[in-house]
Amino acid sequence: MPDEQPIPAKHLATDRFGKTALRAAHDISAGLAASGAEDDGVVVLRTDGPHRTLSALESLIDDVLADEVAEDTIG
């Protein structure tokens, strides 16, 4: 669609990170399966990273909208 807005860089970075993390988890699982390691059911949970919440998503959307308004007033 020609009228479609480009995806904000912040969203692209988040999407790229999610895809990279998913692929890394797949590669680790495939490597363990290929080595014959038994599944011990251990799951590692990282608790020191940023946590995504609905308010964080709302804040991200507000930031993008504010950027668009600033660009409209400048341009």
Residue pLDDT, tens place only, 23-69: 888 888 888 888 888 877 776 767 777 767 778 778 888 888 888 77
pLDDT of residue 27: 87
Cβ(64)–Cβ(10) under 8 Å? yes
Give the alpha-carbon dihedral of 57, 62, 67, 70, to 10 degrees.
Answer: 180
pLDDT of residue 9: 77
In this prediction the pTM is: 0.42
pLDDT of residue 2: 59
pLDDT of residue 10: 73
Give dist(CA 61, CA 70) in Å, integer: 14
Report CA-CA distances (Å) from 64 to 6, 14, 67: 12, 14, 5
